[in-house]
Chains A and B, each alone.
Chain A
Amino acid sequence: MLTAIIALPLAGAALLLGFGTTAARARAIALVAVVAELALTAALFAAYDTADGYSFIQRADWIPALGVQYLLGVDGLSVPMVLLNGILGVAAVLSSWTVRERVRGFFVWLLVLQAAVMGVFVSQDLILFFVFWELELLPMFLLISMWGTGRREYSAMKFLVFTFLGSAFMFAAILVLYFSLPAGERTFDMMALADSGLAGAIVPASLVFGGFLIAFAVKLPIFPLHTWLPDAHTDAPTAVSVMLAGVLLKMGGYGLLRINAGLFPGELVSAAPLLAVLAVVNVLYGAVVVMRQTDLKRMVAYSSVSHMGFVVLGLASVGATAGQFNGVGLNGAALQLFTHGIITGLLFVVVGLVYERAHTRHIPDMGGMAKQMPLIAVVFLLAGFGALGLPGTAGFPAEIMVFLGGFTAYAWAAAACAFGIVLAAGYMLWAAQRTMFGPRLERWDGLRDANVVDMGAMAVLLVPMFVIGVYPRLLTDVFDAGLAPIVRGFGG
């Protein structure tokens, strides 16, 4: 089943190479592929039993000499991420309906990207995990540099160098981790590593922890390693921004939870004060910078930086004094990953729609667009509500959980981050007001509202945003099951 989840987008890409000779046909094949993929991931989500721990395990020797395995498996932490990737795949394809240049190549790389990210979420072997982690670089690089806008080459290169540098640290950490285990117990099997309580076996545990932390901090991103993100987002085509904000950043958060929290609880507790500080910086710095942006897409990008600070705060909640820690912060961090993926994905879809029509993202040039495009304006506002964590949207439960966890550990950090929510409300509403509302401008009279395809792209994301907002247990129960062993590692 998990192999099928990775292989399906690749099969779609192969079909595209063979048959996607016209733009219309390429779009159709890509859409069928991602919808089938979504169905598959939804089936996985439905079939996953929270009582089971790791499920759907597939194991085969890959490089026997090193004990590297082709080892797939999912637990409560991975399953929602897989579903998220499935949902965003559909949104990404629908939002690139208007791509004109080299349509076939675009969808091929988009599908390869989706497959690589799937691989990251379902791999349970560190080398395999790393292979998929790196595999995502190339499609991303090409998608930004070939179909992007503005300084796309610069941004693509910056993305590549930053991410590659981060993963270099991870690669070194993986090897050191492997060899610091006693001979005979050496393995890349993440499940076995998590079980064996390797804290005693590793000599430079903090170094290995640091290597992984840097790699994931680049991806999430955590200040000061975030500078590639606004550039990449700004110059990427819409679908790529959706995937970037929606799932690629989540790979960083997923790695922090899975590896830094799962394998190195002791080191994470030691690092918690630092993470708390970084969380505050991320949230507030991101929010303040958002205010200053005049480019709509750049604005959303920086709001991502700000919102990823909440994930870091959730992680820092492990610094709570013994007995007080109950895992709600970690659960919130995981939920925040999912909800931010949905909400920011939606924001990027809407921004893309606006840009495609108005051919500008310069906020001061806009205004009154709700008159011409009421539907898009409403969705923009709803997504903004989600981003600022309005109750009823998915953003609310995630943020409240992060704060509950954060307060038990670092009340000052949680309080400071809470101020980020206020700022978020400010900049989101302000942006909506400057772009969508205000007096009708005649130069926007020709713009048409969302068509069926656009509505599809928005609906795919709007529905989960509200479903999770109203009934978050749908996800939190699953995350709870997945995080339970990790939480036990912290004595919670």
Chain B
Amino acid sequence: MGLSARDLLLVSPELALVVLAVAIVLLDLVLDRKGFVLAVGIAGLAVPLAAALGLWAIVADGGPEMAFHGALVVDAFAIFFKLLIVGILGLLLLSSAEYIERFSPHQAEFVALVLLSAAGLMLLAAAADLIAVFVSLELASLPVVALVAFSKSGRSIEAGIKYLLLSGLSSAVLLYGFAFLYGATGTVRLVALDPALPTIATMLPAAGGALPFGSFAVLLGVVLATAGFGFKLSMVPFQMWTPDVYEGAPTPVAAFLATASKAAAFAIVLRLFYTALGGASADWSVMFAVLAAVTMTVGNVVAIAQSNVKRLLGYSAIAQAGYMLIGVAAIASEGGSGPLGIESVLFYLGGYAAMNLAAFFAVIAITNTTGDDRIEALAGMGRRSPLLALVLAFALISLTGIPPTVGFMGKLFLFNAAVSADLAWLAVVGVLNSVVSAYYYMGIVRTMYLGEPTEPRRIGAPVTAWVAMGVATAGVAVLGVWPAWLLDIARTAAGSLVP
């Protein structure tokens, strides 16, 4: 036993993030110009990016590899998420250059915490046993608690404590579920490249009979694990924290939670249920189908009543999680063509990151100037800042699912997966939900273009934020017109998961 150089190579993206985080904190001690720290952080992301691309090439040639004695797996699926998370990080740091000035002199800590949490998320997507899942989940969550409370205002601290308590509770529930899974199967291993090694999938009691999942212990384990992950996914009925935390947290942190954190949670849910519990898929497919329907409906209906943009984006995040759960439900019930559901979720996660970040960036830029995150305060934005209003409107159109945007294409693939899995009813529920969501998304567009400005002052944004918005918006548009390339990548990634 011991570390090999190969292990370090295989975790190089995560390692690079951690090193970068430490380097930033150290640099901060000697540097006077705090803005420089952020520049180092952004430029430093090139290292994990290059590492992840290198791993992609290695895996494409030689197939997936295990690291750390089977604790982590490096396959196309995991690398897809590494790339996604690095991309999200880069845009997020770019866009929040101005925002985090208010944390002076603690910008470096902010950036470092974000990087640490991102490293945890990457590990989560690559976790190959239950212990690694739990450890990386904690690594991802704990920095977020500090980040949520970073504003040190009453709201922010309240949100931080809320996140801490609920995150801890959900971790406990998750761990309890893992214990049952381990007890029932005698192993914590999710993935094994060596077929001789026992995994949860091979040790799972035969499904069937009156009891779902074949045994009471597995049933309990699955239910508790779903509840634990449900917190991360903002899945109803574990969504309560989402709007409160989004509202209270610094906006870049809310954006991080809504995109990167959610993506990694979907990664591990897909891996756990497809790879480890695939044998009992008939039993959990229905569960996810119902959860998907409930989640998107609750998110969309409650979002209508919101008057705060960040809260509204919180409910919208819940609804969007519901759409993606459609893809999870569709993995199972179709006998053999599981990757269709997975690739649709992966594609949607990519597109969702682009459109949701574009929306958040515009909101960050606007609230930075106005200091007011009520929807009313967006009135007349079409005149006060035509370009920002356009970015936000385009992102909202995409979130609604109207072509020619990535939101439409993503929904097309999700609903396509659902119908092919004989879940046509779920696709219909999803489509009807899009209609409901049009009401509040377009309501914002209407306010921006038709409302009377509360003050005439024009609103701008720093160059870095424009770059981030430009990239995100271009992603929304390009993927809306030409989705095939991301779908191909998503298909490769989905295909690397062991059924």
Task: Give residues in A with beta carbon < 8 Å to B.
Answer: 61-66, 127, 130-131, 134-135, 137-138, 141-142, 145-146, 153, 156-157, 160-161, 164-165, 168-169, 171-172, 175-176, 178-179
Contact = CB atoms under 8 A, between A and B. Distances in A.
A270 to B, nearest CB: 21
Contact of B442 (A135, A146, A157): A157
Interface stretch (B131-139, B212-220, B397-405, B460-468): B397-405
- SS of B interface (majority): helix
Given A63-B483, A63-B484, A176-B419, A153 B397 contact: no
A386 B215 CA distance: 75
Contacts of A169: 431
Contact of A134 (B402, B416, B491): B402
A102 to B, nearest CB: 10
Considering the complex of A and B, which 4 residue pairs feature the smallest CB-CB distances, nearest first?
A168-B431, A131-B403, A175-B419, A179-B419
A172 B431 contact: yes
A139 to B, nearest CB: 11
A134 B427 contact: no
B397 A138 contact: yes
A373 B450 CA distance: 35
B487 interface: yes
14 contacts: A64-B484, A65-B491, A66-B413, A127-B412, A131-B404, A135-B402, A137-B402, A145-B450, A146-B450, A161-B438, A165-B432, A168-B435, A178-B416, A178-B419
B266 interface: no
Interface of B: 397, 402-404, 408-409, 412-413, 415-416, 419-420, 424, 427-428, 431-432, 434-435, 438-439, 442-443, 446, 449-450, 483-484, 487-488, 491
B416 A145 contact: no
A164 B415 CA distance: 16
A164 B424 CA distance: 19
B424 A176 contact: yes
Contact of A168 (B413, B432, B483): B432
A400 B56 CA distance: 68
A164 B438 contact: yes
Contact of A165 (B435, B449, B491): B435
A135 B413 CA distance: 18
A176 B412 CA distance: 12
B171 to A, nearest CB: 37
Contact of A66 (B404, B416, B424, B435): B416
A68 to B, nearest CB: 8
B484 A62 contact: yes
A164 B434 CA distance: 9
Contacts of B446: 145, 153, 156-157
B415 A161 contact: no
A163 to B, nearest CB: 10
B450 A134 contact: no
Contacts of B439: 157, 161
A164 B420 contact: no
Nearest to A211: B428
Contacts of A157: 439, 442-443, 446
A153 B442 CA distance: 11
Nearest to A170: B431
Contacts of A145: 446, 449-450
A112 to B, nearest CB: 11
A175 B415 contact: yes
A172 B403 contact: no
Contacts of A130: 403
Nearest to A127: B412
Contacts of B412: 66, 127
Contacts of B434: 164, 168
A62 B434 CA distance: 24
Contacts of A160: 438, 442
Contacts of B450: 145-146, 153
Contacts of A161: 435, 438-439
Nearest to B480: A131
A142 B435 contact: no
A265 B82 CA distance: 51
B449 A172 contact: no
Contact of A171 (B415, B443, B488): B415
Given A157-B439, A169-B431, 5 more contacts: A63-B409, A63-B487, A66-B413, A131-B404, A178-B419
A149 to B, nearest CB: 13
Given A127-B412, A145-B446, A175-B424, A164 B419 contact: no
Nearest to A171: B431
Contacts of A172: 415, 424, 427-428, 431
Contacts of A146: 449-450
A65 B409 CA distance: 12
Nearest to A166: B435
A416 B409 CA distance: 46
A137 B435 CA distance: 13
A90 B35 CA distance: 55
Given A63-B487, A157-B446, A164 B416 contact: no
Contacts of B449: 142, 145-146
Contacts of B403: 130-131, 134-135
A131 to B, nearest CB: 4
A66 B442 CA distance: 29
Contacts of B443: 157
A141 B442 contact: yes
Contacts of B404: 131, 135
A11 to B, nearest CB: 16
Nearest to B424: A176
Contacts of A134: 402-403, 408
B49 to A, nearest CB: 26
B479 to A, nearest CB: 11
A492 B413 CA distance: 39
A60 B315 CA distance: 39
A66 B428 CA distance: 19
B402 to A, nearest CB: 5
A157 B443 CA distance: 8
Contacts of B432: 165, 168
A82 B443 CA distance: 33
Contacts of A168: 431-432, 434-435
Contacts of A131: 403-404, 408
A175 B427 contact: yes
Contacts of B435: 161, 164-165, 168
